[in-house]
Structures are given as C-alpha cells and as structure tokens.
Structure 1
Amino acid sequence: MASLEDIIRGRRSIGKVKPDAVPKELVEKLLEAATWAPSHHRTEPWRFIVMMGEGRSALGRAYADIAAETWGEISAEEREQRQEKEAAKAFRAPVVIAAVCSPSELPQADEREELAAVHAAVQNLLLTAHANGLGAVWRTGAPSYHQRMKQAFGLAAREQLVGLLYIGYPDMPIPQAERAPVAEKTVWME
C-alpha cells in the first residue's frame, strides 16, 4: 500500500472517468473518511448528498435551469438542445456527491471555521478516492452558488454547497504535477 505522503502527492483532479458503477460500499468508505476531518468545537458541519443513476437528474435539471437564465430569446429547438447539454453535466461521472456546509447553531461556532471543516472533509474524501483507485474532481463555479442549486438539494437558508465531487474510475492517464518548493512559501519565525 502507498504511503500517506505518496497518496497526497499522487492525487490529481480527474475529470474524465468511465461510466462503470462504483460500489456503494466504496462510496460509503469515502464518506466515512470525510467525517474524520477536524472541526472546531466538534460541530461536524458537513452533509453529503450522494447521486447515482437517475438520482443525478435533479442536478442536471438545476444546471439547465441556471444556464437558461442567460439564453434570452432562442427557438424551442435550440432551447431543448441546450437543456440536454446542460443536464448531461450531471452524468459526467457515475457518482456525484454534493458536499454541503450545514453550520452549527452553537454561539461559539464561526461560519468561516465551519466552511474550513467541510473543505477538510472534502480533501479526506478525495484522498481516499485516490487511494482506492478512483478518479475524482471537485467542481465549483457560479452554478454551485446559485439559489436554484440550493433548491435542488433542499438546503436550508444557512447551508452552503461547498462543491460537487464527480467520482468514478479514471479514463485518462493521471497527470504529473509540480509544486513550488515549500521553502518559497514558508517563513520561519524563531
């Protein structure tokens, strides 16, 4: 088995995956790893919405509705083609997980720290996916923050979609990456 350091260094965003189903038990393993992220005051502010099969349709409809706001006057045929193209985004991977920040009501809970905890949970999930031979990509962007997306997932007023995690078996070579030397990003105060 690869070392934790190798898993961290080897993980990449894999946007092209095979349509092959991912076993539910493996998805549960990813979610379990996510829940071991640190959280201030042990609030565990994460929530996950797992979409597989036709369960991805709600996401597809939300993508299409959000995009349609910018189309203006177009023919019914063009509208239908564009809706299909937008809805297909939800089917780019056999598993899509919406990572949600559901902040605690505790007075000492800071929403910035709650978001940071969910980001850490997502990283745990991505690393576990990589360690188990899966490819994954963490997608955000304007649609993720749109009110229609919150509606699609039934999010409460204070909840936020942190990202959509597309997961499957890689259908592309895992790219190599470089990082700037840590010395360029570190200040020592002794």
Structure 2
Amino acid sequence: MSLFPNEAALRLLETRRSVPTSQLAEPAPSDAELARILTIATRVPDHGALSPWRFIVFSGDARHQVGQRLSAVYRLEKQDMSPERLEKFADIMTRVFTYAPLVILIVSSPAPDAKIALLEQELSAGAVAMNLLNASHASGYGAILLTGWAAESRSAAAIYGLAPHEHIAGIVHIGTATDIPADRARPKLADLVTHWTAPE
C-alpha cells in the first residue's frame, strides 16, 4: 500500500503547466505563502546535505531596478548588433523582471571541493526548480521557468551578486494566471521507456 495515497496531489501534478508571463498578474503569493513555497522547493534529493542552491527574490520596485541595470549591461555586451535589434532586446531586458509580480532566481551554488559530483549538485538545483513550480501550482498560482541571456550572462550574474562558482539554474516568474493556457502535447511513454533485460 502507498505510504501517502493522495489522488488530489497526483491530479495537481498531472495538471501543472507553464503559464506565459503575459498571463501572470497580481496578486503574487503573500509572504507566508512564499515562505511555504520556498520551503517545499528545498525538499529535494541533496546528496551530502550540501544545499548547493539558493534563491534571490525580486518583487516590487526591485524588479524595475534590476531590469534597468540588465538593459545597460546588455547594450555594452551586444554592441555588434544592429541598432534596431539592440534597442528591441535592450528594452526587453528592461522589462523582463516586471512581466510577473514575483520573480525568483534559482542559483546553483555547488561546493566545488565536496566529494559529491558537480553534476549531482547541479541536478539538485534542477529539482529545486521543479518543486518550486509544483508548489506554486498547488498554492493556486501560475508560474513559468525561463533562462536566456539574463540567466547566462556573467555581467548579469554580477548584477545579482553571484559568486564566480555560481550560475543561474532558472528564472521563475510567479503570479495569478489570468487565463488557463492550453496544454501542450506530452511525450508518449512508449517512446521513452524501455525495460532492461540481461543479454543472453
């Protein structure tokens, strides 16, 4: 018998989907809800109990401030772009943290001298991201995980205050869904699953 048979929880997992940032609006999770969501996010496999990840939360005016700084360094990094494209994407960087009312950076912060493999530590950060999305969904909010230049640029990392060994595992945007997005086609298990048997 299952330890915690819970059809409602399974249904939540079956119905989670990414909500585009254009469909995320106020309200965001309250402080108490956010604390619970982040606590759930940390309940992941973590070999060696290293906690090789951390969060940076952006809300309110901080979202506008970081967007302005990202736009400035984007212009410096992308001077080889045409002026039109540069302005277009620099403007996106100005607004990228303001599409949703709450933005959370998941920082992969591995312990390089630990005996635990680096890949295993980084996978733990990925598990944090998935738990964060599931906890947001279970709390009644929409969310989406994004990456791109704002997650990959070392100049952006300096704005966030990342250490040299850290990088962004994902940028999670959270808010109240203004629409229920259509589900996308999901892969067929028959195309993904094999059952190993010993060779004769």
- Identify the TM-score tier after normalising by the shorter chain: 0.7 to 0.9
- 2:37 paired residue number: 30
Instruction: Tell me the equivalent position of 1:41.
Output: 48
Contact 1:58 1:152 in 2 (8 A): no
Quickly say closer, same or farther: Cα 1:19–1:66, change in 2 above 3 A: farther
Is 2:186 the partner of 1:179?
yes
The structural deviation recorded for 1:66 is 4.2
Q: Which amino acid aligns with 1:29?
A: R
Identity of aligned residues (%): 25
Give the 3-state SS of the residue equivalent to 2:36 in structure 1: helix
What is the total number of aligned residue pairs between the two structures? Answer: 187
1: distance between equivalents of 2:194 and 2:28?
46
CA distance in 1, matches of 2:116, 2:65: 31
Q: TM-score, normalised by structure 2?
A: 0.83
Aligned partner letter, 1:99: I
Contact 1:13 1:135 in 2 (8 A): yes
State the AA in 1 paired with 2:130.
Q
RMSD: 2.3
Matched, 1:8 2:13: yes
5+ residue gaps, structure 2: 1-5
In the superposition, relative to structure 1, how do residues 67 and 107 fare at CA in structure 2: closer, same or farther (>3 Å)?
Answer: closer
C-alpha separation in 1, matches of 2:169 and 2:143: 15
Aligned 8 A contact 1:138 1:166 in 2: yes
| Cα distance in 1 between the residues matched to 2:78 and 2:39 | 39
Structure 1 partner of 2:129: 122
1:90-146 superposed Cα distances (whole Å, 9 cap, x missing partner) = 100110000001112443122211110010011011001111110001010133110
**Equivalent residue for 2:25?**
18
Amino acid at match of 1:94: P
SS in 2 for 1:40: coil
Structure 1 gaps, min length 5: none
Q: TM-score, normalised by structure 1?
A: 0.87
CA distance in 1, matches of 2:46, 2:11: 25
- Code of the residue aligned with 1:13 in structure 2: it is S
